Amino acid sequence: MLSLPGDTFREGVNHMAARESLDDLLRQELRDLLDGETQITKALPRMAKAAESGPLRSAMEQHLRETEGQIERLNEAFELLDESPRRKTCHGIKGLIDEAKEMMSELNRGSVLDAALIASAQKVEHYEIAAYGTVRTYATMLGHRNVATLFEATLREEKATDQKLTGIAEGLVNPDAVEGETSEESDREGLQVRVARTVGTAAGRAAALARQAANSIGGRGSRKQASGASRKARKSPSRRASRKK
């Protein structure tokens, strides 16, 4: 994860000034991470509340508790480095959270929003995996073994969260489960089947959009129209093609 230009870094490791600058870079990254994690503790409860899927909600709630522990580790790292904890705006996490907020305001509660929430959360985890991998490497190279150990624990949590989210997301693209649906059927089905139906194929998306439009207009006439659109989508060639995959 260390992304310093190779030559500069090799020349620098035995040079006091360059060593100091890498040390400064480590501290800068820690301030960035402390700010990013703090932003995440504010965003996660809102994302969990917006999630329809139980497993997704509990994964987010569990990761909120882990994130609070990760902030503790960052504070410990500052202490080990003889520095008072400070925050520096993490624009990367801010941007990812802004995108998640946009999704939450644009999409209705349901399986499609769940898919978007998973995508947003995984983008955040990947950012964190890169950032913690970087600070762990800096700390190791600067001889702060105890600091590096702290971030190894955090890295394990971030990677496990990413994998758990992948597990939930994999249910979204089960082509065998892709069918049209009525709202009654939808009530009986798990997230895996419903999201596969709405996200997995173009036909599913068309049906979902038709249902969404019908729901926002309301009334029996429009619902009837929407189920007609669902039937049409069910019979469309694109669905048959995707089932053969």
Q: Which is nearer to Fe ion, 25 or 129 (CB)?
A: 129
CA distances for 51 relative to 22, 68, 111, 155, 238, angstroms: 41, 21, 8, 25, 29
- Asked whether 108 and 51 are in contact (CB, 8 A), the reply is no
d(CA 70, CA 215): 42
> Could you say whether residue 192 binds Fe ion (CB under 5 A)?
no
Query: Of 29, 35, 114, 158, which lies in the binding site for Fe ion, with binding defined by CB under 5 A?
Result: 158
3-state secondary structure of 99: helix
Q: Is 108 exposed, middle or buried (0-12, 13-18, 19+ CB in 10 A)?
A: exposed
Give min distance, CB of 162 to Fe ion, in A.
8
Q: Which is nearer to Fe ion, 132 or 138 (CB)?
A: 132
Give min distance, CB of 9 to Fe ion, in A.
26
Q: What residues numbered 45-84 form the site for Fe ion, per CB under 5 A?
A: 67, 70
Q: Which is nearer to Fe ion, 167 or 221 (CB)?
A: 167
Q: Which is nearer to Fe ion, 70 or 236 (CB)?
A: 70
Alpha helices by DSSP H, listed for 51-90, are 54-80
What letter would DSSP give residue 4? S
What letter would DSSP give residue 13? T
Q: Which is nearer to Fe ion, 69 or 175 (CB)?
A: 69
How many residues of this chain interact with Fe ion, rule: CB under 5 A? Answer: 4
Q: Which is nearer to Fe ion, 160 or 173 (CB)?
A: 160
Q: Which is nearer to Fe ion, 65 or 231 (CB)?
A: 65
What letter would DSSP give residue 14? T
Give min distance, CB of 120 to Fe ion, in A.
12
What letter would DSSP give residue 65? H
Query: Of 128, 138, 171, 204, which lies in the binding site for Fe ion, with binding defined by CB under 5 A?
Result: 128
Give min distance, CB of 176 to Fe ion, in A.
32
Give min distance, CB of 218 to Fe ion, in A.
39
Straight-line distance from the first to the last Cα atom of the chain, in angstroms, rounded to the nearest whole number: 37
- Asked whether 135 and 29 are in contact (CB, 8 A), the reply is yes
Binding-site string for Fe ion from residue 78 to residue 117, where x marks contact by CB under 5 A and - marks none:
----------------------------------------
d(CA 43, CA 54): 18
Residues that bind Fe ion (CB under 5 A): 67, 70, 128, 158
